[in-house]
């Protein structure tokens, strides 16, 4: 590996570590809901596993025959009954095509440099009829749109989020990316948990007694796309 390649890898590792390698319980529960609602099972890949928390939860769902995890960071010191692959997700995985029934990328695509490459890679890794699930910050919430208007950036893409968050996507972007990769049109879900503009410790759901939900009132979006049979 030459000096420039090593420097790039170190930058990517630093970016991954700055995000602490985990997402919120709300996001994990939203992904579990999508998996259960769609009765997904078989073999699953945790694509961008971070500290392995979601890997543990996928194992705990008892819906999957096997769970494989991959991340640029080394395997965590957890007792995981799964295979861990240390790999930079900006490059193709050393795995042959059509290996998984489900690939889950929780809060990963915004960290990577080429979302179209990601979609093509997920398509390659899936079996025919398999499902890709991604979650990412919802840049169409009122909180994020107001931040863009006032500060000139989406709320999850401030200087404090850099260099972890580098790729902001809207639903239209996600749909185009998946369709270009030959997936069927994605179905969108929402975390139904969103902070108030300027007061993120308070949520729309809390102040509305759970009435305000969906696109404008969720901090995160989840997309489910299937590879045609």
Domain ranges in the chain are 3-226
| Residue found by looking up tokens 């420097």 in the block | 7
Q: Which of 196, 190, 193, 189 is nearest to 143 (CA)?
A: 196
pLDDT per residue as tens digits for the range 147-191 = 999 999 999 999 999 999 999 999 999 999 999 999 999 999 999
Which of helix, strand or coil describes residue 65? Answer: strand
Question: How far is it, in rounded angstroms, from Cα 218 to Cα 72?
Answer: 28
pTM of the model: 0.93
Q: Cα separation of 135 and 223, whole Å? A: 6
pLDDT in tens, 90-125: 999 999 999 999 999 999 999 999 999 999 999 999
CATH superfamily of 3-226: Vaccinia Virus protein VP39 (3.40.50.150)
The angle formed by the CA atoms of residues 157, 159 and 161, to the nearest 5 degrees, is: 55
Q: For 19-112, where are the alpha helices, taking DSSP H only?
A: 25-37, 53-61
């Amino acid at each position: 590996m030459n000096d420039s390649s090593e420097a790039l890898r170190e930058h990517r590792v630093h970016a991954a570590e700055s995000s602490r390698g985990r997402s919120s319980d709300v996001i994990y529960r939203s992904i579990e809901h999508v998996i259960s609602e769609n009765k997904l099972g078989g073999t699953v890949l945790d694509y961008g596993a971070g500290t392995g928390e979601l890997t543990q939860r996928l194992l705990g769902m008892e819906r999957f025959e096997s769970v494989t995890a991959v991340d640029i960071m080394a395997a965590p010191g957890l007792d995981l009954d799964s295979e861990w692959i240390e790999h930079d997700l900006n490059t193709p995985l050393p795995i042959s095509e059509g290996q998984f029934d489900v690939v889950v990328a929780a809060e990963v695509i915004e960290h990577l440099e080429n979302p179209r490459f990601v979609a093509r890679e997920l398509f390659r890794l899936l079996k025919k009829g398999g499902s890709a699930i991604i979650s990412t910050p919802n840049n169409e919430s009122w909180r994020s749109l107001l931040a863009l208007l006032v500060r000139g950036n989406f709320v999850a893409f401030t200087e404090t989020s850099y260099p972890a968050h580098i790729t902001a996507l809207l639903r239209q972007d996600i749909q185009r990316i998946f369709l270009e990769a030959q997936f069927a049109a994605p179905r969108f879900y929402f975390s139904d948990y969103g902070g108030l503009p300027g007061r993120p410790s308070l949520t729309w759901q809390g102040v509305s007694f759970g009435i305000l939900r969906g696109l404008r009132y969720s901090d995160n979006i989840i997309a489910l796309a299937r590879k045609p049979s």
